[in-house]
Chain A
Amino acid sequence: MRRIEPAAVLGVMSREVANFRTFWRSTTFSSLIEPMIYLLAFGLGLGTTLVSGVDGIDYVQFVGTGMVATAVVFSSALPAMFGTFVKHRFQRTYDAILAAPVDVEELVSGEMLWIGLRAGVFGTFPLLVTIGFGLDPAPGMVLVPFFSLITALAFAGFGIAVAGSVAKIDQFNYITTLVITPMFLLAGTFFPIDQLPEWAQVLSQLNPLHQLVVLVRDACFGFEWTDLLRLAGLVVLAFAMWRLAISRLTRRLID
């Protein structure tokens, strides 16, 4: 592997920060308001009529803690997919960056780190909202941004790899329908997965979003030793996706 220069990675991130300053208000607004709407609809609606609690956890808190994973995937995989494609194909931003002393490894690392950090922060918003809905603060919660960051890095790498592989932007529909949506629904956000058929439970265990949901809930209600394995799995996935993203984008950007 060639040496990755922090200055190049930070330079790529500085471009993202400069752009983010122009639209942070709308993104932050939706990241705060969306979990509130979900909690009102599912938590208060479903929770007060059909389900009072799951595994001894109040249903509002069950959904609220699970929504951290939802916020993470939607603020990492989708921006990585669409952002990368648009910057490469339509804005030609990467042509300009790669003409500077920046390699594809550094470009991908900068993009992934920025998306990871952003999703790490946005991932905590549902938790903060749930605290507003009555969840008791717990010391383990300070690790939630870190868990979100690691998971977001994996999904950012996945999104960049997808963007480096598709020929047309509408092909993202296959990915959102066949990958993102099933992951989102089988994460254990809205219902416990132990009620699902066995095959679905196996799939859920392979689902990184489910691992994040469990980590976040355990951060709120008490860790177990298996959480270390979950975290290790997410770290390995993030590394694998980083390398995959570099490989796919190199093929796309370097003739």
Chain B
Amino acid sequence: MAAIELEGVVKTFGPIRAVDGLDLIVPEGICLGLLGPNGAGKSTTMRLLTSQAIADEGRLRALGYELPRESKEARARMGVVPQLDNLDIDVTVEENLKVFARLYRVEDLNEAVDRALALARLADRRHDAVDELSGGMRRRLLVARGLVHRPKLVLLDEPTVGLDPQIRAEIWTLIEDLRAAGTTILMSTHYIEEAERLADEVALMAQGRVIARGRPGELIAEHAGRRTAEYYAPPERRAEVRSAAVAAGLQVRSAGPALVIVGCERAPDGLVPDDAITRPSSLEDVFVNLTGEELE
């Protein structure tokens, strides 16, 4: 049984089709990264899965439960880590966790809270008000709150958006632990590195639907080759190189002052200038190749 099954899902907000015929199956036990720019429909997809948004068309199932009819049963087994911090800041760390353990009908509150505190490495701060925690601690608490009831499926909505690199690394460690424990994860993100590092598979979303899906390495190899060159030069010189690259059938684009040649290992000898910078191709290159849009 798949943890998530979405078939032909459509969700509109007035004239905007936020989700437009979305088909998505997430097998149990994997971490699937939903990668796309703002407005691609990632957060709406998350809200559809918790029935905080109701689809206009299509079939949705989570953990075998039909949505929205059996949403409550599905939500009882699902953990959600929101994009925005919505902790109760005047209340202690422990009370924040206890309240949600009650909402999730956890029987042994103390055991659940102790486990969540250990997971978030906040056991020594359990009696402190959330307001007294650092940004990283608050984010770890937010993740722990979503896991307090040992969910089978975890929805992470932009789990590290707006965080500094050190805190981001802390959250990644938490997610890696979760993944190692076999929990199914659906993670929306617009950070390439996050998707490449954490996701077993990536679904690229644009304009409310999945435009490509696969393992990060496979997607990159298929759509962007092995290496990408960035060439910084005066506009006239860049135009010359661009023409030659297009003539050779390569994917090119402008990125600020640079000309980007995707899959440059396939370029004829001498086409890529010696002073161009080459790097491994990334999901960003895949996304831009497929949509013409930048991710970040």
Contacts and interface: CB of A to CB of B under 8 A. Distances in A.
B91 A22 contact: yes
A19 B91 CA distance: 6
A8 to B, nearest CB: 7
B109 to A, nearest CB: 10
A206 interface: no
Given A100-B75, A101-B72, A255-B47, A14 B99 contact: yes
A96 B86 contact: yes
Interface string B2-19: 000000000101000000
Band of interface residues on A: 20 to 34
A91 interface: yes
A93 B86 contact: yes
Interface string B70-112: 0011011010101010101011000110111011110000000
Contacts of B86: 91-93, 95-96
Contacts of B99: 11, 14-15, 18
Interface string A14-47: 1100110111000000000000000000000000
B278 interface: no
A138 interface: no
A93 B89 CA distance: 11
Given A91-B86, A103-B72, A14 B53 contact: no
Interface in B36-58: 44, 47, 50-54
Nearest to B52: A98
A99 B75 contact: yes
A182 to B, nearest CB: 34
B53 A254 contact: yes
Contacts of B47: 255
A255 B100 contact: no
Most chain A beta-carbon neighbours within 10 Å: one of B99, B102, B103: B103
Given A15-B88, A95-B86, A254 B52 contact: yes
A99 B95 CA distance: 18
Nearest to B44: A255
B52 A100 contact: no
Contacts of B102: 7, 10-11, 14
Interface string A87-122: 000011101111111110000000000000000000
Nearest to B99: A15
A255 B72 contact: no
B103 A253 contact: no
A22 B129 CA distance: 10
Nearest to A15: B99
A22 B90 contact: yes
Nearest to A3: B72
A100 B100 contact: yes
A100 B101 CA distance: 10
Nearest to B91: A18
Given A15-B99, A18-B95, A99 B90 contact: no
Most chain A beta-carbon neighbours within 10 Å: one of B44, B72, B91, B105: B72
A12 interface: yes
A253 B105 contact: no
A99 B53 contact: no
Contacts of A254: 51-54
Nearest to A110: B103
B54 A101 contact: no
Interface string A155-190: 000000000000000000000000000000000000
Contact of A101 (B76, B95, B129): B76
Contacts of B91: 18-19, 21-22
A11 to B, nearest CB: 4
A107 to B, nearest CB: 10
A105 to B, nearest CB: 11
B52 A255 contact: yes
A99 B71 CA distance: 10
B50 A98 contact: yes
Nearest to B49: A99
A7 B99 CA distance: 11
Contacts of B105: 7, 11, 101
Given A14-B98, A93-B86, 11 more contacts: A15-B99, A18-B95, A18-B98, A21-B91, A92-B84, A97-B103, A98-B50, A99-B75, A101-B73, A101-B103, A101-B105
Interface of B: 11, 13, 44, 47, 50-54, 72-73, 75-76, 78, 80, 82, 84, 86, 88, 90-91, 95-96, 98-100, 102-105, 129, 145, 155
23 contacts: A7-B102, A10-B102, A11-B102, A14-B99, A15-B99, A18-B88, A18-B96, A19-B91, A21-B91, A22-B90, A91-B86, A92-B82, A92-B84, A95-B52, A95-B82, A98-B52, A99-B155, A100-B75, A100-B76, A101-B72, A102-B103, A253-B52, A255-B11
Closest 5 CB pairs of A and B: A99-B80, A92-B86, A255-B53, A11-B103, A100-B103
